[in-house]
Amino acid sequence: MRIGDAKQSYEADEAIWTSQTQKLWLGFFLLILLVFPFVVDSYLLYLGCLVGIAVISTTGLNILTGFTGLISLGQAGFMGVGAYTVAWLSINTALPFPVTLVLAGLMAAAVGILVGLPSLRVKGLYLAIATLAASVFLHFIFAEWESVTGGMGGLSLEPAHLFGLTFQSDFMMYFIIVPLAVLMVAGARNVFRTRIGRAFIAIRDRDISAEILGINLLRYKLMSFALSSFYAGIAGGLFAYFYRVVTPESFPLSMSIFYLAAVIVGGMGNLLGGILGAAFMTLVPEALKLLTAALTPFYPNAPVFMSPMLEIIFGALIVGFLIFEPHGLAEIWHRIRRFFRLWPFRN
C-alpha cells in the first residue's frame, strides 16, 4: 500500500472513530438528562430548569452575536416580549402551551426584526447602544401598558397544560424545558449547515466581501435578529410558565448583560460554548449564595459584602476570558479532550 493510500485510510478510520465517539457521548449525555430529575433534590431540579432556559436564550444570542457578529444588549427585552405574550394568551385564551410558546417566539421575532432595521447602517458599539435603547423602551412598555401587561404588578398565569396534563411542579416543567433546549440547540446546529447559516458566518467574517459575493446584508441580518429573538421569546415563555408570574422587573438590563457574558465566557460562534456558558453563568450566582451562607456564621456581614460581588464577577469573567481565553470554555473543553486522547503518547 502506498503512503498516500495509507494516510487516507487512517484519516477515514479517524473520522469514523470520531463520529462514533461523538454519538456515544451524545447518547450518554441524553441518558444523564433523562435520569437527572429522578435522582436529584428539588433545589438541583430547579437549577436544571434554569440552565435549560438559559441555554435556549444563550443559543439565540450566540446566533446573532457569535455567528453573525452583531452585538445585542436587548435579549432581556425579547424574552420579556415572549413572557408577556404567553401570560396574556394563557389568561385570555384556552390555547395549549405549545401554541402559546410558538406565538411568543413569533411575536419576539417580529419585534427583533424592527430592532434589527438599523443594523445595515450601524454596527459594533453603535448597534449595541441601539439594542440597549430598544430594551429600555420595551421595559417602559411592560411597566406602563397596564391594560395588557398589568403594569408594575405584572401578570399571573395558570400552569402549562396539554392533553389534560398540568405542568405545575418543577419536575413536570423539567420535561418541557430540557427537551425543548435540546431540540433548539439541534435546530441551531442544523441552521449552520445551510446556506443561511453560512451567510451569517460570512457577514461576521467580512460583511463587505459577503455583499460582493451576492449576500443581501439587510435580509440576512434581519433574519439573524428574527431567529435570535425567536429563541429569546421561547425562553421568555418558558420563564413565564416556570415562575407563573411576569413583571417588568423580571427582565432587567442585567439579564441582557448576563446572556452576553454567557456567550463570551462559553465561546462566541460555538454552540457548545453557548451551552457551557449558560450553565456556568447560571451556577455562579448559586455558588456565591452557598459561599455567603457558609461565611455568615464566621463573618456576619458576609451578605452585605457579597451582594455586589455578582456584577463584579460578571465583569471580571468577561474581561478575563477576552484577554486570556477569547474562545471561551468551549476551547478549554477541546483542549482537555485532546490532552486525554493523546496523553499515552506524550513523553
How far apart CA 101 and CA 254 sit, in angstroms, is 24
- The grid coordinates of residue 187 equal 435546530
How far apart CA 266 and CA 275 sit, in angstroms, is 7
Q: What is the pLDDT of residues 22-76, one digit of tens each?
A: 677 778 888 888 888 888 888 899 999 999 999 999 999 999 998 998 988 989 9
Q: How confident is the model at residue 16 (pLDDT cuts 50, 70, 90)?
A: very low
- DSSP letters, 53-103, are HHHHHHHHHIIIIIIT----S-HHHHHHHHHHHHHHHHHH----HHHHHHH
- The torsion defined by the Cα of 140, 142, 148 and 154, in degrees rounded to 10, comes to -130
Residue 279 scores a pLDDT above 80 = yes
Q: How confident is the model at residue 10 (pLDDT cuts 50, 70, 90)?
A: very low
Give the model's pLDDT for residue 167.
80
Give the model's pLDDT for residue 19.
61
Average pLDDT over residues 201-207: 87
Give the model's pLDDT for residue 229.
95
Give the model's pLDDT for residue 284.
84
How far apart CA 54 and CA 238 sit, in angstroms, is 10
**Amino acid at residue number 8:** Q
Q: What is the pLDDT of residues 292-340, one digit of tens each?
A: 788 778 777 777 777 777 677 777 877 887 788 888 888 888 888 777 7
Q: What is the pLDDT of residues 214-266, one digit of tens each?
A: 888 888 999 999 999 999 999 999 999 999 899 999 898 889 988 998 998 88
Q: pTM of whole model > 0.85?
A: yes
**What rounded mean pLDDT belongs to the chain?**
84
Give the model's pLDDT for residue 341.
65
Give the model's pLDDT for residue 297.
80
Give yes or no for a contact between 251 and 142, defined as CB atoms under 8 angstroms apart: yes
CB atoms within 10 A of CB 192: 15
Give the model's pLDDT for residue 113.
93
Residue 192 scores a pLDDT above 80 = yes
CA 25 to chain centre: 22
Residue 6 scores a pLDDT above 50 = no
Give the model's pLDDT for residue 342.
56
- The grid coordinates of residue 262 equal 454567557
CATH architecture of 40-342: Orthogonal Bundle (1.10)
